Every structure is written in structure tokens, then in C-alpha cells.
Amino acid sequence: MSRNKKQNPAGLLIIWIMGLLLIIFTVLATLVIWVGWAVCEQLYARYPRSPNDADILLQEDEAHELAQNEAQIRQIEMRLAQIESEGSDLRRRKDGLFHAGSVLGAKLNAEISQLLQELSDSRAICHELQTLPGERLREWAAPLSRLLALRWAVAIYISCSAYALLFKPASVIYMHDLIHTWLQAYLPSLSLPIYGAMALASMIASCAGLAAYWLYSRTLYNHYADQLDAH
């Protein structure tokens, strides 16, 4: 009986795809972590660790515009209340406006339409201005969060690589052999499972870096947002 067993084509295809994806992820993740860290260190090493209120809060002209629109909203709401009183004896349509059969009803309806449009515009401007400090705070927090997250990613990458090379777990050996089989024409054969260690480190460091970025961005924003609310 032949000792050669018939190989499953589907299984070989799955292993082929896994090897390709593993190589692509390992290379890309390693480049992103190390190059991203080096770039962020150059750009943000001296990035302020706390935001400047003058850069976050509304500028004088923005605060003035906000106050103007808030005052206009109050005036419009007061005028709409007066219109309700003036047209209290008029019949109403299903849409809430006055019956246009009378001169007063048609006049009030026209004024209501104009006031509602102005009210909508003023509220939109107020909303935009009121959310502006929060947007600026998020923009300030993003670079610092990236820097801190990439520092964590680099530290974890080094730690995972050291663990993999020291203890040589079976998963690392398997990934090492898979990568080397794929790229044996281009990569030297190594006694240590360096390729598998890189694969393991890139996976864990990527997840840790993403989690750290999410955590830092939320923590920094929430911390300083509370301080801004106190102003």
C-alpha cells in the first residue's frame, strides 16, 4: 500500500490562503506600528499634554455670534407666541396654521413661515457653535492618543516577540513554518522562530494599540470636556 495519502485540495487551499493573509497582516501591521511610532515621536513628542483653553473655547466673534442667534431665537419664540394670541379667534387647518380665508389668517401664516425658517437657521447656527469646542477638543486629543497608543503597541510588540522567542509556543512555531514555507525562496532558514514571533507580536500589538487609542481618546476628551463645561 502506498504510504502517500491523497491530500485534500480544500485543506491545501485554506492553508494557502491563511499563509498569504498571515504574511500580509504581519508585514503591514509591523510597518504601521514601527513607522507610525517613529513618525508620531517626531511630530508629537512635545505635543501639549493639556489643551489650551483659548484654542478650544469659542473665540470672541464666535461667542458674539452665538449670543446674537440665541437672542434672535428668543425674539422669534416670543413673536410666535404673540401670533398665537392674535389668531386665537381664527379657524385652524390640520397642519396647525390658520385658515387662509381671512386676510389676517393669510398674513399670519406668511409671517409664521418666515419666522419658522429663521428659527431653524438660528438653531442650526447655535448648534454648530455650541459643538465647536467639543470638536476642537477631539482634534486636540487625537494626535496625543495616537502617540500614546503607538508607544503601547511598540512596547507590547517587543514583549510578545521576546516571549515567543524565549518560550517558543506551538502556535509561534506553526506560524513561523507557514511564513517560511511561503517565502522560502526569499527568506533564510532560521533556528529561532523569528517570523512566527513577528506574526504573534503584530497581532497582539495591533489589538492593544487600537484599544489604547480608543481608551485614551475617550478618557482625554471626557476629562477635559468636564473642565470646559465648568467655564
How do residues 183-229 score in pLDDT, each as one tens digit? 877 778 888 999 999 999 999 999 999 999 999 999 999 999 887 76
| DSSP classification of residue 47 | -
Mean pLDDT of 91-99: 79
Q: How far apart are CA 148 and CA 144, in angstroms?
A: 6
Is the Cα torsion angle 138, 143, 149, 152 positive or negative in sign?
negative
Mean pLDDT of 156-162: 97
Q: Between the CA of residue 38 and those of 33, 43, 209, what are the distances in Å?
A: 9, 9, 15
Instruction: Name the band, by pLDDT with cuts 50, 70 and 90, for residue 115.
Output: very high
Instruction: Give pLDDT tens digits for 22-42.
Output: 899 999 999 999 999 999 999
Mean pLDDT of 97-106: 81
Give the pLDDT of residue 131.
94
Residue 4 reports pLDDT greater than 60: no
> In terms of pLDDT, which residue wins out, 106 or 79?
79
Residue 75 reports pLDDT greater than 90: yes
Give the pLDDT of residue 24.
92
Q: How far apart are CA 129 and CA 127, in angstroms?
A: 6
Q: How far apart are CA 70 and CA 22, in angstroms?
A: 57
Residue 87 reports pLDDT greater than 90: no
pLDDT over 90 percentage in the chain: 62
Q: How far apart are CA 38 and CA 188, in angstroms?
A: 27
